[in-house]
Every structure is written in C-alpha cells, then in structure tokens.
Structure 1
C-alpha cells in the first residue's frame, strides 16, 4: 500500500472548518483508517507538491442521512451519570464489544433520539490537500 505525507483541510461546502492538518502533516497508509475512503480517493488523484481542492457532493463524500440511523432510546438505556443534552456525543457498546458513537438529536421526556449517521452525512464538503511525499 502507498504511504503519504500530506497537509489537508476538510470543510463544509459553506466554508465552515471541520478538520485540518496544516501545522503538522498527516502521515498515513492507504486503507489504515486515518482518512475516510472518499478522501483517500482524492489523495490518489492529487499531484505531489500541488495544492488541490476537491468539491464532493454528499453522495460522493459521507453519504446521505439515513432515517434508520436515528434511534429512539429510553432514558434508562443511558448511564445514570451521563449528561443527556442536545448535541452530546454518546458511545454505546454492542454485546460483542463493538463501539458506536451517536449524537443526541432530540429529547422528548424519556424518549431520547440518537443520530448514528456519520457527522458529515448529508453534507457537501471541500477537501484541500497538498501531498508532500508519496512512497
């Protein structure tokens, strides 16, 4: 697998910054999970040493929001010590030990709606990248 050293900036299409690595380059190997596959595809298409911007639609980037990824849970399903508030990120473990993160989207009495979509699902994004090194 190819190894890369890059500077990058990921933003919503409206310009709001999501993540960046301009102060310290990111070093990664394709497929190691540090970058989502849609962003790895941009890196593969980019030229070494040239700052390039890729505009990705929601479907090309992190996909559309899926209704089935919104789960209504009951307050007793959460640890008693957990602060339950809108926008809070919560982590759940499955019986086999996998972890899933979601964001509290709605609170109605004891019904808590958790959004398990990717945080950028449904968003068009801009990905700027400059490849410093490719091995």
Structure 2
C-alpha cells in the first residue's frame, strides 16, 4: 500500500469536510465531533459532479469547491411538502415554524421534516433536504484513500 493512492472511480475515501452556504455561513462540518466522513466513489450516494471534484485527490490534499443546488442537495421538490392534521402530533408538543421533527417511516427508519407553517389544525411539513435549492461550498481534507474491491480485481 502506498500513501500516494489517488481517488478513483471506486475508491473508499475518508475525509473531513466543512460545508458552507454561499454567504459563508456554516451548514455542517465533520470537524465539530472530529469524526471524518467515509464514502465510496461510484456508489450513488454522491452526485457525479461532487465525485468529479474529488477525483485525483490523495491523502493529505485539501480542496474547496462550489456546487450549484443540482450538484449538491437538489432543488426543492413540491411533492415533498405534506399537509398534516394537527391531531397527528402529540397534544403536549408545541409545534412552531422552523422546527425539525423526526417522522417514522413504514420500514421503521426516520426522516426529518421541517415545520413550514401551522395554521389552525393544518401543519405543513417539508421533507426536502434542508439545503435543497442552495449553492454550497465544500472545503475538504482527504484523510485516507483505499482502493475499492473492483480496483484490486480484474479490469
């Protein structure tokens, strides 16, 4: 193994990132808890343009790049706006605009929803990613690069 392994199409990448909005305000960072992110190139969890920004980097490299909404968290989808009856929330829960609540899915997993408005018995919940529609700046530091299983096998 060598430390000079560069990020390729199926590399496993461990990195720290700082995610900022265009105005410079912080949106997320792996440095807060000193827990770097782990991702596999080509597994579909990242957009192609995000992956393209990482290709060719190696352990120790630092890079900042800007991604438009479509290349980051996408545009808001109107189908992800849901109108719910207030009775679906616990009566002891004080629901306010801007709150983020966890909603159980049929498979038992949870998805966050942002309360966009409360009008009488109607509550509007937005299940779009909180950064949907935003241009974001990623500042990455590559902690480690490992070659993927298919990189070690036959081509």
Taking structure 2 as the reference length, the TM-score comes to 0.73
2: CA distance, partners of 1:96 / 1:20: 29
Question: How many pairs were matched up?
Answer: 132
User: 1:32-51 to 2 correspondence within 5 Å?
Assistant: 37-38=46-47, 41=51, 44-45=54-55, 47-48=57-58, 49-51=60-62
Alignment correspondent of 1:28: 38
Task: Identify unmatched segments of 5+ residues in structure 1.
Answer: none
Matched, 1:18 2:30: no
Give 1 or 2: higher strand fraction: 1
Alignment correspondent of 2:113: 102
2: CA distance, partners of 1:124 / 1:58: 5
Assess, with a 3 A threshold, how the Cα gap between structure 1 residues 46 and 121 changes in structure 2: closer, same or farther. Answer: farther
2: CA distance, partners of 1:26 / 1:43: 18
Matched, 1:82 2:93: yes
CA contact (8 A) 1:43 1:131 kept: no
Task: Identify unmatched segments of 5+ residues in structure 2.
Answer: 1-9, 147-155
Assess, with a 3 A threshold, how the Cα gap between structure 1 residues 71 and 27 changes in structure 2: closer, same or farther. Answer: closer
Assess, with a 3 A threshold, how the Cα gap between structure 1 residues 47 and 94 changes in structure 2: closer, same or farther. Answer: closer
Matched, 1:66 2:77: yes
Taking structure 1 as the reference length, the TM-score comes to 0.83
- TM-superposed CA distance for 1:99, in Å, is 2.1
2: CA distance, partners of 1:46 / 1:56: 18
CA contact (8 A) 1:5 1:28 kept: yes
Structure with max Cα Rg: 2
Alignment correspondent of 1:92: 103
- TM-superposed CA distance for 1:46, in Å, is 5.2
